[in-house]
Structure 1
Amino acid sequence: MKSTSEKYGSVAVTIHWLSAFLILVLLGTGFRAAATTDTLSKEEILTIHASLGITILLLTVARLVWWALADRKPVALASSPAWQNLLAKFVHGLFYIVIFGMAASGIGMLVLSGAGSVLFGGATAPLADFSDYAPRIPHGIGARVLLLLLAFHIGGALFHQFIKKDGSIARMWYGGH
């Protein structure tokens, strides 16, 4: 369950890959909802989107609690220069900031617009236009920043796996070395 000095443990691996999958779905549903003009379709998409957003928030909090109280991350790859390790820490830190910012702005839009009751089965009022609410701007910017961070993160992992061939992806997977 816990990490070793060389490899991430099953709890960290599960949270990582589940979060990765859900963030991709979250981005897809968010951009799709923004492009959809049909109110009923938008409501269905946003119900999924908001639920996934809350799930990602809870997984991110669980990840931070796991690292703070129960586990230690493996040591940085010895084959990486210090600047790459620093860049990786910076990107990971930005992930947390953006995820919490996205959660805050998403919750802000739900509260200010009254859409929370519409999306989660309370009211039957028409879904508000989220562009009328201030949190929509940072939410949209955050989604684009999240895409950039994902590109950096995936690019770095692929670089390590296929160019440096240092087994970095295997460190974040189940099983032995």
Structure 2
Amino acid sequence: MQSTNSNYGLVAVSIHWLSALLILALVGTGFKAANTLDLDIKAEILSAHVPLGITVFLLTLLRVFWWWFFDTKPAALGNDRSLKEKLAKGVHLLFYLLIFGMAFSGIGMFVLSGAGSVIFGGEGGVLPDFTRYPPRIPHGIGARLIIVLFVLHAGAALYHHFIKRDITLRRMWFGKNTDSN
């Protein structure tokens, strides 16, 4: 369940990969909703997007809670220069900040617009124009930044796996992956 000095544990790995999949779904549903003109279809898309966003927010809270109180991260491999390690830590920190920012701006739009009754209440009202609400701008910017970070993060993992041929990616997978090949 917990991480070791050389591998991430089952809880950390599960939260990581589930969050990654859900973030991809969030980005897809978010951009699809933003570009859909049919308000009924948009409400249907948002009825999936909103619970996904809440789930990612809760998983991220769980992840932070898990690291602070129950687990430790594996030691750095030590095969990267200090700048690369700092960049990796910066990307991870930005992920957390963006996830929380996206959750708060999404909740802000939801509350300010009253969209909940249209999306989940079954009242069939008219979906509001979300561009009229201030949290929409940081939510849109955050979505684009999440994509950039996701590409950087996945690219770095693939670089480590296929170019450097180290165990960076395997450490964040299920099971013990401590051999250096």
TM-score by length of 1: 0.98
Q: 1:48-101: per-residue Cα shift (whole Å, max 9, x none)?
A: 001100000000000000000000000111211111111110000000110011
Q: Is 2:70 the counterpart of 1:70?
A: yes
The DSSP-based 3-state class of the residue aligned with 1:143 is helix
Displacement of 1:123 in angstroms is: 3.5
Report sequence identity in percent.
58
- Report what 1:37 is aligned to: 37
**Greater than 6 Å deviation, 4+ residue runs:** none
- The letter of the residue matching 2:135 is P
Q: Is 2:11 the counterpart of 1:14?
A: no
- The letter of the residue matching 1:24 is L
User: What is the aligned length?
Assistant: 177
Displacement of 1:121 in angstroms is: 2.1
- Report what 1:163 is aligned to: 163
Q: 1:110-140: per-residue Cα shift (whole Å, max 9, x none)?
A: 0010002222225432110101111100000
Q: 1:29-65: per-residue Cα shift (whole Å, max 9, x none)?
A: 0000001001110000011001100000000000000
5+ long unaligned stretches in structure 2: none
- Report what 2:138 is aligned to: 138
TM-score by length of 2: 0.96
Q: Is 2:135 the counterpart of 1:116?
A: no
The DSSP-based 3-state class of the residue aligned with 2:79 is coil
Write out aligned runs for 1:24-63 (5 A): 24-63=24-63
- The letter of the residue matching 2:108 is G
5+ long unaligned stretches in structure 1: none
Q: Is 2:84 the counterpart of 1:84?
A: yes
The DSSP-based 3-state class of the residue aligned with 1:62 is helix
- Give the distance between the partners of 2:48 and 2:56, measured in 1 at CA: 12
- Report what 1:150 is aligned to: 150
- Give the distance between the partners of 1:73 and 1:53, measured in 2 at CA: 25
- Give the distance between the partners of 2:73 and 2:117, measured in 1 at CA: 40
Q: 1:122-165: per-residue Cα shift (whole Å, max 9, x none)?
A: 54321101011111000000000000100110111011111111
The DSSP-based 3-state class of the residue aligned with 2:54 is helix
- Give the distance between the partners of 1:19 and 1:147, measured in 2 at CA: 14
What RMSD over aligned residues (CA atoms) do the two structures have, in Å? 0.8
